Structure formats: structure tokens, C-alpha cells
Structure 1
Amino acid sequence: MKLRFAAVLLLPCGLAQAEPRITQNDFGGAGLLQTPTARMSPAGELSVNANRTSPYSRYSVSLQPLDWLEGSFRYTAITNRPYGPSSMSGDQSYKDKAVDVKARLWEETHWAPEVALGFRDVGGTGLFASEFVVANKRFDNLDFSAGLAWGYIGNRGDIDNPFSVLGDRFKTRPAMEGTGDVNAGSYFRGSPSFFGGVSYQTPWDRLSLKLEYEGNDYKHEPKDNVIKQDSPINLGAVFKVTDSVDVSAAWERGNTAMFGITFHTNFVSRKAPAKTFDPPAEPLPAKAPVQPMEQVDWADVSQRLQQNAGYKVERISQRGSELLVYGEQQRYFHSAKAVGRASRILDNSVNDEIDWFTVVNKRYDLALEETSVPRQTFREVINNEEPLQSLHRTTEVNPAMPHNEKTLYTQPLQRFSYGMGLGFKQNVGGPDGLLYQFSADADAEFRFTRNTWWSGMLSQNLVNNFDKFTYDAPSGLPRVRTDLRQYLTTSDTTMPLFQLSHAEQLDKDLYGMVYGGYLESMFAGVGAEVLFRPTGERWSVGADLNYVRQREFDQGFDLRDYSVLTGHITGYTDLPYETLAAISVGRYLAGDWGVTFDISREFSNGVRFGGWATMTTASGAEYGEGSFDKGIYLSIPFDEMMSMSTMRRANLVWAPLTRDGGARLNRSFQLHSMTDSRDDDMFYRNFEKITE
């Protein structure tokens, strides 16, 4: 499994659900101990879990993108089985990776229980694969669950399969191949078993107790493990150390202890830190300045707009009673906050012939959207003379359009910028165990023009254990990603990015970009991208085409022999529940053709949960273990975790395996993300920040 990470903190959050509390089971996901329940955590919940029940050590991450949908990624170490021959992996134990999904079918009512349908190990090796239906009913501080499971959770198989009426094939369950395929042919097959239990919230709010009857008799464990079960009854307790940390202990199988810990937070209910390191917003004047427009110190206004409102100003113009500021936002993640601060600065600077303030947001000279604020209403809201709703009704967000206007000031182009940061890379799930690297990263950008720029990055290794990285995964395809070990271990100083780019607005809703250079850590080349994003629509479509060549392992300027033409056509559409679906069709880095499905949900604070799956023309034998590319990801604005405003994000990606099939070029600049501000939903969902 490959994990790409950037400094994420799990910060405390309040409990959003009624008692008894919803806690995690041993496998990850809401449940008792070995068994799941129908309960769901509140939307936006993230849980990181670790527990030990000999011979299994389990580590999981559970996400709740929707009120009715739960997803988990799990990593299991079977500690009494070797990963493979000692010549390949030494004394490393066997590692299993899996993805679980659970969906609520209906909510609990006064008379009816809550019911959920779930799939365990739906996208892993299938060693712990199971399907289940489970119901929950709450009575005061007791929460009862009962369910029916096929596969691992129901391995006792003590009842006839009710689906056998549909055919004899449902009477037997095929053996898992351990390839990481979806294994849909085995769903709901074989003899199932009942399971269930109860959780009890004690009068002490920190302590919950659990009792369950599990449907697994441990006679059919993966890797022919011989595990003795003295009792199907498991007993456990969960202790809330803090609002974001739970520890758990249990007695399972009648003979084995379990210990675990869970870190969790909720990115909807939790509060972002106060921005104590932001400059204070300018106060409004008692009355508007009186100096004529031609006497305004526009250079000073431009400087204040950059320092206080985050806009790198291109120019300031006037059209009748409207003042327009053209600039690129570089500090505030929430555009409402930036627009409000810009409006304060302009109100402090111009006389009362101006009735409207319009901020035209640009990105690399691509005009994206213009936000117009009525001056008088803005003043009344700031001074608590009118409710915020009055400003919400009258503030306009429109596509950026050319205007017949008078230019008052043009800011010289600021060409060079740079930054420093800490990088973290991790590789886990192979026979080499847990591998990590911390690095010091320096990035820089030089603007030749406002829409032509060079960007680069240098990365210096600080500390790592990649000397233990000895395993190269087998592959039946060109090694476009499975040479990861060489790229991580050859040089302490690397150059992940050295790229020249040019972007252009080709028409009102059409954007284009060309680029070339060292595009990512493993590939260099040239490419082009176009994006059609129509105004006011919930869909867009783009295409990219790239000719790339593999880089040398030291990530310097030299190249290897392998080259490929790769590119995709991608359609994007908004779905209910603030979800975004993307479908890409094209050619991947290994020369295979296929399709990638990606679905994600973005919350009002910008946190995004998502997952993807890629199917290509590469056969299972060519692809190797895993059969197809898949994973889940989490993207968190640093603004949600820091005491200063920033537009940067922390991105985490969990993929069960690094394989060559379905591999895409990891470009640093993509038009869809560059033009995200054309969607005004985020602006209006966070409109209250216009007063901050």
C-alpha cells in the first residue's frame, strides 16, 4: 500500500450522536467487536484504528462521506504466517489489504430498526471477505443488533442459504483466489450464520460495554491458520480517554485478549482553529473618504489588498459606480472571507461615487468569476444594522466577462516566489513492512508573463528507513510504477518537478494549457489539456494528451529509454449530497487502455472524501496481485487545522498496492482544480465569512 501524506492532525471534536456512543469494531467501521452493526457515524467522521487479537494485528481508516455510507481501508498483519520466502521478505509476516463498504437501507423509527447492507473485503484479497445484512434497535442506553452474514463473518454456516431458492450455485461458496479482485461471483453464496449483540452505555459517560455472539467458528481461517474458539460470545469495553481518543479491550473466542485504540474526529462538527496569526480586518470608516478617484494612492491600496485580503493585484478599474479589482487569491481558502476583506479596504479608500465593489478572481491570468458586493448593504451588515441575509440576497457571483472600463492602476508583475516545507512519504503493505521518509522540500515559481510560468521543487532527504526496501513487485507490464524502490533509494536529493506551463482562456467557457519538463518524480515530457466548463452548469468535460519518457532513478535531468503516449477524456458531474463524479477514458502509462471511476464528497469546509477504481485492458496475470487499481483518499484544507489562513491542502491516498496497470501521470497543474472557483457553492455555503 502506498500512502502519500502531508501533516494531518486529528483534532478533538464533540460527540454528534446520542448515547450509546457509536464506536468502531475490530475490523474498522461502526460495530461491536468482531461484528458490524447497522449504525453509522455522523457524516464527516474520520477514524483511525489499531488493535491486536492474536494472531491478527489490524490497522484501519474509516470514512463517513455521507450519513448513510461508510467506507474503510484495512491493513491486516497475520503475524504467524510469513509474507513469502525468507530470501524475499526475511521474517516479515503476511500482510493483507482490504476495502469495506456499508450502506444504510433505512433509518430507525419508533417501531422499525435501522437496517444496513455491507461488504467486507470488497476490494482486497478476499481472505476476510463477507457480506451481511444487519439491523439495530435502541432502547434507552442499550443498543441491540442482529444480522445474517455470508463468508468470513458467517463461517459457522449453521443455516441454509435463503438464496438457494434462486439456484443451486448459492449453496456453495467458491474459494477466494487472493488476487484482490471484487469477487462478485461469490457474493451471498454458501451457508450463512446469524450474529448479533448489544452495547451498553454505562452511567459513566466515558465507559461503554459490549457483548456479542459471532457467526464465525474459526475453522476456516485464511492461510490455513488453526485457531481455537472456546466460546462464540465476546465481551468488551470502550473507554473514552478524550473526545478524540478511545481505547478498547475485550475477551474474544473465550480464550484471547484484544486491545485497541481509535483516534477520530469529525470534519463537519469540529471547529477550525481561530486564525490568530491572520492580520486583523480593516475597520470601516465612519464615512467614506472625500478625495477624487484620481488622487487615491492605488499602489497603497494594492499593497493592502495583498497583505490583508490575499489578492495579488493585476489591475484596478472603474465602470461607472462600480470599482473592479482584478487579482489572484493566494492566502484565503474561503473566497467569502477574501472578498469581505477586500470590500473593507476599498470602502476605506474611495469616495461615495462608488456603489459596488467587484473582485475578479484570476488564476494564472484565467478569469474565473467576479463577485460583486453592494457597498451600502455591506456597511450596514458589518455595523449590525442589517442581517447577513440581506447581503446574501444582493451579493452577485457571475462568470468573469470583459468590461468597457477605465483602468485606474496596473500592478507590475511579481515574477519570483518560493516556499519551504516538510515532506513525508510512506510505503506500507509489502514484504519490507512499514517504510517512511521525511524530507525538506523547497518549491519556487517564476512568472515570465501572468499566464506563462516555470515551477520547480527540490527535495532533500532528512531521515528514512528505505535501506530496508529490498522488494520489487513482479509485473507483466512495463515498470512505470513498480520501480518505486529505485526512485526512493537512489538519491538523497531529488527534483520531483521542473516544469514550464502556459494557460489560456480560449473562449468564455473554454480553457487550455500546454506544458513541458519534468512533470513528476518518474516521468518527463510534454502535454496539453483543454477543459470546457460551461457557466451555470453542474458538469464539465476535459481532455489531456501527453508524450512522456521515464526519468532516471536519481530524479535528476537524465532520462531512461521507456516512452509512451498517454491521455484521457474526462467528464465531471455534480450529484446529490455535494458529491462529484468523474469518469476518465483513455490510455495509461503502461500502454493499457481503460476507464477510471472517481466519486467524492466535499463538505462545506472544503474537506473531501473520495475513492476510485480503474479497469484496463491489462489482464489479471499482467496486472498481478490486486487485479485492478483502486483506493480511497482524503483531502483536507490546512485552513481547517492551522491558526493562519492558507490555500494549501493535505492530501492522503490509500491504495492497497503499487502496480503498473491503470497508472496515470501525476501532473501538478490540472485545469479542473485550477478553475474550481467557477462553482459558487463553496462561496455561498461559507457566506458568513464575508464579515471576518
Structure 2
Amino acid sequence: MALITLSASLTAHAQSQSDYGGVGLMQMPTARMQPQGTLSLTYADNDAFRRMSVNLQVFPWLEATARYTDIRYEKYSLDPNFSSQSLKDKGVDVKLRLLQETQWRPEIALGWRDMGGTGLFAGEYLVASKQFALGDHNNWGHLDITGGIGWGYLAQRGNINNPLCHVADRFCQRTDTTKGTGGQFEIDDWFSGKTAVFIGLEYQTPHAPLSLQLEYDGNDYTNERFENPIDSTLTKPPVKADSPWNWGAKYAVRENLTLGLSYQRGNTLMFNISVKADLSHNPMPQQSPKPRAYHVPDDKHQQTIGTDKANELSLLSERLQNEVGVELNAVQQNQHRLTLFHNDHSDFRSHQERIERSTRILANIAPNEIKSYEWVSVNHGMAVRTDTVNADEFKATLLGERFNQPLSRTVKSHNSSDAIQQGEWLWRKQQAFPNWDLDVAPRLKQSIGSAEKLYFYQLSVNPALTFNLTPRWQFKSEWGINIVNNYDEFNYFVDAYESDLPRVRTEVRKYYDAQDIWVERLYSRYTAKLTQNWYGAAYAGYLERMFAGVGVSVLNRDFASDFAWGVDINRVQQRSPDSALGLADYRVWTGHITAYYQPSRFPNELFKLAVGRFLAGDEGAQLSYEHKFDSGTIVGAYAAVTNVSSQEYGEGSFTKGVYISIPFDLFSVKPSQSRAAVGWQPISRDGGQMLGRPVSLYGMTDSRNPFYNEQ
């Protein structure tokens, strides 16, 4: 009987979160990864430190973590008028899987902690993990053994010499200081200085929710920050290690909720809680209407359709709206072709499902003499794509005459033209212009990591009134009504950091505090399809909370192309925070040339590069990256680097941030194209800031090569 067996697969609860938020043991990391799309929120607490982290498994081989550490024994500032809270440190971690585990080979990963923050907890590591099944038929559980080598904060114990010293002398010393104003990648320090070996094991007990952990810590905690102690009687940091061994237990209360308790450094109890969500799959069963069945019409019914087209097409419009959420605008017939113009929006994120459901409805109404259905998608008066359906093939497929051929094989998608086809207009929707639409939505604006308080917020309700003068020309007014906020707890409106840059964003506190009712936006915009692959927009008014002005943008986007590019030019003036419609003195020309790349080989990835002038007059580029999971959830990151030096920019060195966009139907049983977005920008300074333009031509033409919705 084999008592120990090599294993290459992990059990359901083996990938626990460390106190730092990434997959690991307690203080030390492992080489393990979560399933792709797993989002984890972790809170870890002991006497000296409190850590709050967000961890995301972006790819099977890439893990990213953002974290705030509350250093409870340190003051944020010695000036109580500036800040009275304890020190909060921001950090970003990344872990890359180099080799995947096999029966004989361990999983190996390379990682960085606190790689883009202040460097207080910065460190690098190379780690390997191997799992063993215990007992006959694994009835004794699993044992996951980890061993690694660390640098920086993970290696203050310094129990081995740095092997990279034999490669180059620069690896022998580490500065352990932060360049400039922080926020940069301290590449010169990576894998240098003190080095330590760490080991650990995790025993997954036969009782599946419970796992036990033991680790040898590579950090001896002799180099902790100690500059502004809250307790003036302290002469050294209240963090010491009486033992290098940490031990603890994790218990999975539910599949997405894990509690942890550990005893660390030989003197400290640590508690943590981790909540997980799967962004790769939609957990809600969708309760959409069953697709309409196709019934072969008899001769009598076919004749009725031919003599009463207007009523039948009105019925078609009603069914499309009720069953698919498609708004039909007009129908035209040219011999054996039926062309249907409809708004580029529906209840379904999948464009293919929209077309198939709509065609099922149409096939029950259109006469047999029609051999081709053309669905023309129109967004704000601009035709963005055409889907042509072979009517006979579609019907035969529905009747099972094509040996399980998918309906998608009967549909061909191609470019659209605004030119009116030659033919007879059978029906047009009675659209009276101008018309109007009222929408009311909640808004949450937040600031994390400020000097006075960790979290500032403003919850408002924003009614928006839109007047449509024509399908292409709109007037929109959006107001904000404050419900609750804590921005009155600011100690100052503008920080004391001296910079030559205009205050285009750092005066944001004034805007949040000055008014309980404000004009968020008040503008007019006009959109048009200029040629076959060119789209344009013009806009003027109060474009965002902090700027008003005029602008134009154009976009070149070939149908189903990986590439697109556009240009926007804007002349804007800063708004006054003290009045609803007042303006300040600052004016600037701002605009960018933006390239978009959505590789057909990797359709769930989108890259954007915008080069031009930013709001503060600085010039440079912003690079953005977005990844879409199978559930439709999108995560993105961006960074802007301009001709402003890190010293002139201020804390953070350059503008950067992350965001997540979640489809509403992940929380509802009904399908929807609507989304909610949340962003995090560690430091909001004035350099590298872009105008919040009220129109995105790339988003409006998404159907030409769907990313934000589905193909």
C-alpha cells in the first residue's frame, strides 16, 4: 500500500491567501495560482499591521495584488493639522508562473512584492511547490511542500549568501531606499542584497474545509520602519521575532469564504478572512424568454401576410422589442431581400444571439419569396454593421434539415453603408423628433489612501435628461444630488506640494465639498458616419465635473479589423468649484492620437495607446490594457508618462490606475448590456490627466469587432 504518492493536481481548498493577499501560506508565498478569473478580497490583522488586499488571477500564469497596509505604531505625519491617522502604505505585487507542476516536477514561480509603492515591504522571490497525496486513495489528505529563496523584505534573516553576487557585483548590495517621490519600479534593487531561504508546508486534512500550515520565515523583522511612532515612549518598533516558525490553520466556511488563524514570530496572533468570486463565469442562471420556434406557414397564412404588410411589420416590431430588446426603426424590400434597420442595442450581450432570436421572429412573418434578411445595426444615426441571413438555409436549419448545422453558419456579417438601398419602404417607425429620455442612476465617487482618512466617499443620485433633436444630434443635462459623503472631514482643500503644473485635478476636493446639487454635465453632441470606415463626433458644453469646452473626434475603424485609430482635439476651460456654471481662468488645448489593437488571435485582449497633450499642458503617452473574462467582466490598467519629471509630478511619480467593469446580468437573472465600473488610482496628481470626453466613438462602434459585448 502506497502511503505517499506524487500528485500533480490540487484539492479544492489548497490555494489559500497569505496575509499579504496573494496565494501563499502566512507571511511566505507559494508557487500556487488560483483558477483564472478568481478575485479575492483579504483582510489580515494583528497588533502591528492590518492589511487589506485585492488579488486577481488575470491569467493562469499571472497573479496581481493591490494592498494597503496600516502600520499601527507609525503616524502618517507629525503635523496633527495635516493628518492624525496611522501610516497607510500602498503596494502592488505580481507573481509569474514559470513552470507548471507535473507528476515529477514542482510548480515554480517568480514574484515581486511592493514593486511599485514606497518600498517598505519590497522584496522578490523564486519559489517552488510540490504536492503529495497521503495514504491509500488519498484518504489521509494532501501535503503541499514549498521552498524558496527571497530578497529584500522577505530575506532580512539573511541565512544564505546571495548567489547572484557571482553574476555581478551590483547584486551584493541593496539600497532599500525609494527614488524620488515613490511609485517607481526600483529595478536596480531587484534580487540584490540580503538573501534568505524560506520553507513551508500546507496539510490539506481529510476533512476538506480544514488545512494546517507551517512555515520558516525568511524575515527576522530587525529592519522595520520606525520614524514617527504614535507612542512617544517607544524606542524601537513593536515588531520582533522570538521564533522563525509560523504556524496556523485555514478553514473554508464556504467555497468562497475562508477564515484563518495563526501564531507568528513566536509572539503574535494573526487573524485573516478571505472572500472569493469567480469572474470567469456568470453565477446567475439567465431567465430569458425561450427563442421563438419556427412554424411553416400554410398558403392561406402566407397570402394574409402579403396583403397586410404594415400590420405584420408592426407586430414584428412589437415582438422584437418585447422578446429581444431590439428597437426596429424601418423595413425596406428590394426584390427578394428584406432590409431591417434597428438600434444597435438589445437585452443580450451576445450579438449572435440577438440576430438569431430576431431572425426566428422574422422568419414566422416574412413571406417565402424573401430569400435574404439584412439586419443593419445603427447607433446614434451611424450604421455600424450588417448581418445578412440566408432565409432558406436558416429555416432549414431550424427544421433540422441541415444535420445539426449551427444557425451561425447561415449568417454573414459585413460592413454597412448609410446609403439608402434601392427598394420599397414597407414600414417606418413613427419617431417624432425632438423626443426626450429621463434616466436616474446612483453614483459613488471615492478616494482611497488620503492623508486624513483611508477612505473618502460621496454617494449621489444623478438624474440625466436627454433631448434627441435627431438620431444624431443630442442635448444632455446631468445633475448630481448629494445623498451622503464624508468629504467635510478634509483638513485641507489643496495639498502643499509645490509644482509648476496647473491644478487640473488636485483641487478635486473643492468640487466635492462646495455644492450639494451640481451640474455634472451639460452639453450638446453630434455624431455621423463620414465614409465607409470613418466616424466623427463634435461636442460642446460642460463636458465633465471639472472642465467645459468644445471638441471634435474622428475614428477610422475597418469592419472586423484588429486595428483602429482616432484623433480628438479639444479646447477646454476649467470650471469653478464655487458655482454651478461658473468658469475659472485656466484654458488649454488638449487632444490625442489613439491607436487600438484587439488581436484576433486573442480577442479578449484590448490595447490602447494615446499620444498627445494632457490637461496640464504636459505631453506624452498613456498606455491602457484591458482583459475580458468569459463572464464579460473586464479588468484594465493604465499608465501615463509625460515630459513632467517625477519630482515635478509629485508623490507617485506618474499617473497610473486599475479598474474593473462588471456586467449587470452577473447579479440578475435577466440578460442585460449595462455595466457598472469601479476604478482605483493610488495617487491623483496633475500630470498625465485626460479629459473626460462625453463620447467614445470606439465604444459606439463596438459592434464592428465586439469587445465590450460579445460576438
- Give 1:243's aligned residue: 255
- Give 1:23's aligned residue: 16
1:467 corresponds to which of 480, 488, 491? 488
Question: Which range moved further: 155-164 or 54-63?
Answer: 155-164
What is the DSSP-based 3-state SS (H/G/I as helix, E as strand, rest coil) of the residue aligned with 1:507?
coil
Question: Which range moved further: 537-546 or 323-332?
Answer: 323-332
Measured in 2, the distance between the counterparts of 1:295 and 1:349 equals: 11
Kindly tell me: are residues 659 and 555 of structure 1, through their superposed partners in 2, closer, same or farther at Cα, counting changes over 3 Å? farther
Task: Give the root-mean-square deviation of aligned CA atoms.
Answer: 2.2
Residue 151 of structure 1 pairs with residue 152 of structure 2: yes
State the shift of 1:437 in Å: 2.1
Residue 75 of structure 1 pairs with residue 82 of structure 2: no
State the shift of 1:378 in Å: 4.0
What is the DSSP-based 3-state SS (H/G/I as helix, E as strand, rest coil) of the residue aligned with 2:553?
strand
Residue 427 of structure 1 pairs with residue 442 of structure 2: no
- Given the two structures, how large is their TM-score scaled by the length of structure 1? 0.92
Q: Which runs of 5+ in 1 are unaligned?
A: 1-15, 687-692
Residue 440 of structure 1 pairs with residue 461 of structure 2: yes
Measured in 2, the distance between the counterparts of 1:669 and 1:462 equals: 27
- Give 1:625's aligned residue: 651
State the shift of 1:565 in Å: 1.0
Alignment of 1:208-607 (within 5 A): 208-223=211-226, 225-275=237-287, 281-287=291-297, 289-290=301-302, 291-293=304-306, 295-296=308-309, 297=311, 298-332=313-347, 333-379=349-395, 382=398, 389-401=405-417, 402=419, 403-413=421-431, 415-433=435-453, 434-471=455-492, 472-473=494-495, 474=497, 476=499, 477-554=501-578, 556-575=580-599, 577=602, 578-607=604-633
Amino acid at match of 1:411: K
Amino acid at match of 1:502: Y
Kindly tell me: are residues 307 and 497 of structure 1, through their superposed partners in 2, closer, same or farther at Cα, counting changes over 3 Å? farther
State the shift of 1:68 in Å: 0.9
State the shift of 1:457 in Å: 1.4
State the shift of 1:172 in Å: 0.8
Amino acid at match of 2:195: P
Q: What whole-Å deviation, never above 9, does each CA across 1:48-78 have from its counterpart, x for those lacking one?
A: 1111132111111111221111111111111
Contact 2:467 2:474 in 1 (8 A): yes
State the shift of 1:226 in Å: 4.3
Contact 2:84 2:452 in 1 (8 A): no
Amino acid at match of 2:438: Y
Kindly tell me: are residues 454 and 293 of structure 1, through their superposed partners in 2, closer, same or farther at Cα, counting changes over 3 Å? farther
Measured in 2, the distance between the counterparts of 1:637 and 1:605 equals: 8
- Give 1:12's aligned residue: none
Measured in 2, the distance between the counterparts of 1:377 and 1:246 equals: 53
State the shift of 1:663 in Å: 0.9
State the shift of 1:166 in Å: 3.2
Measured in 1, the distance between the counterparts of 2:257 and 2:693 equals: 37
What is the DSSP-based 3-state SS (H/G/I as helix, E as strand, rest coil) of the residue aligned with 1:485?
helix
What is the DSSP-based 3-state SS (H/G/I as helix, E as strand, rest coil) of the residue aligned with 2:626?
strand
Kindly tell me: are residues 388 and 167 of structure 1, through their superposed partners in 2, closer, same or farther at Cα, counting changes over 3 Å? same
Amino acid at match of 2:362: L
Q: Which runs of 5+ in 2 are unaligned?
A: 1-8, 134-141, 228-236
Measured in 2, the distance between the counterparts of 1:156 and 1:384 equals: 71
Q: What whole-Å deviation, never above 9, does each CA across 1:141-182 have from its counterpart, x for those lacking one?
A: 122221111111122222222222233221110132261211
Percentage of pairs with the same residue: 36
Kindly tell me: are residues 364 and 157 of structure 1, through their superposed partners in 2, closer, same or farther at Cα, counting changes over 3 Å? same
What is the DSSP-based 3-state SS (H/G/I as helix, E as strand, rest coil) of the residue aligned with 1:367?
strand
- Give 1:161's aligned residue: 162
Kindly tell me: are residues 314 and 159 of structure 1, through their superposed partners in 2, closer, same or farther at Cα, counting changes over 3 Å? same
- Count of residue correspondences: 668
State the shift of 1:386 in Å: 5.6
Amino acid at match of 2:503: R
Question: Which range moved further: 408-417 or 241-250?
Answer: 408-417
Kindly tell me: are residues 256 and 544 of structure 1, through their superposed partners in 2, closer, same or farther at Cα, counting changes over 3 Å? same
State the shift of 1:489 in Å: 0.9
Runs of 4+ in 1 over 6 A off after TM superposition: none
Amino acid at match of 2:443: G
Measured in 2, the distance between the counterparts of 1:65 and 1:458 equals: 36
What is the DSSP-based 3-state SS (H/G/I as helix, E as strand, rest coil) of the residue aligned with 1:653?
strand
What is the DSSP-based 3-state SS (H/G/I as helix, E as strand, rest coil) of the residue aligned with 1:338?
helix
Q: What whole-Å deviation, never above 9, does each CA across 1:366-389 have from its counterpart, x for those lacking one?
A: 211122333445445556666664
Contact 1:128 1:222 in 2 (8 A): no
Measured in 2, the distance between the counterparts of 1:469 and 1:669 equals: 33
- Give 2:106's aligned residue: 113
1:647 corresponds to which of 663, 673, 678? 673
Amino acid at match of 1:395: V
State the shift of 1:286 in Å: 4.9
Contact 2:356 2:407 in 1 (8 A): no
What is the DSSP-based 3-state SS (H/G/I as helix, E as strand, rest coil) of the residue aligned with 1:40?
coil
Measured in 1, the distance between the counterparts of 2:534 and 2:10 equals: 45
Contact 2:352 2:408 in 1 (8 A): no
Contact 1:245 1:264 in 2 (8 A): yes
Q: What whole-Å deviation, never above 9, does each CA across 1:308-342 have from its counterpart, x for those lacking one?
A: 22222221122333322211133422223322331
State the shift of 1:601 in Å: 1.1
Contact 1:475 1:623 in 2 (8 A): no
Kindly tell me: are residues 384 and 233 of structure 1, through their superposed partners in 2, closer, same or farther at Cα, counting changes over 3 Å? farther
Measured in 2, the distance between the counterparts of 1:372 and 1:629 equals: 45
Q: What whole-Å deviation, never above 9, does each CA across 1:198-253 have from its counterpart, x for those lacking one?
A: 12211122222221112111011234534111112111222222222222111111
Contact 1:604 1:682 in 2 (8 A): no
What is the DSSP-based 3-state SS (H/G/I as helix, E as strand, rest coil) of the residue aligned with 1:306?
helix
1:181 corresponds to which of 168, 184, 189? 184
Q: What whole-Å deviation, never above 9, does each CA across 1:120-158 have from its counterpart, x for those lacking one?
A: 112211111111111111112122221111111122222
Kindly tell me: are residues 431 and 274 of structure 1, through their superposed partners in 2, closer, same or farther at Cα, counting changes over 3 Å? same
Q: Taking CA–CA contacts closer than 8 Å with sequence separation of 6 or more, which of the two structures ends up with the larger relative contact order?
A: 1
Amino acid at match of 2:175: P
Kindly tell me: are residues 190 and 452 of structure 1, through their superposed partners in 2, closer, same or farther at Cα, counting changes over 3 Å? same
Measured in 1, the distance between the counterparts of 2:403 and 2:28 equals: 50
Kindly tell me: are residues 255 and 673 of structure 1, through their superposed partners in 2, closer, same or farther at Cα, counting changes over 3 Å? same
What is the DSSP-based 3-state SS (H/G/I as helix, E as strand, rest coil) of the residue aligned with 2:314?
helix
- Given the two structures, how large is their TM-score scaled by the length of structure 2? 0.89
Structure exhibiting the larger radius of gyration computed from Cα positions? 2
Question: Which range moved further: 376-385 or 260-269?
Answer: 376-385
Contact 1:315 1:409 in 2 (8 A): yes
2:32 corresponds to which of 10, 14, 39? 39
Question: Which range moved further: 171-180 or 609-618?
Answer: 171-180
Contact 1:596 1:615 in 2 (8 A): yes
Measured in 2, the distance between the counterparts of 1:387 and 1:591 equals: 63
- Give 2:6's aligned residue: none
Measured in 1, the distance between the counterparts of 2:578 and 2:355 equals: 44
Measured in 1, the distance between the counterparts of 2:502 and 2:706 equals: 43
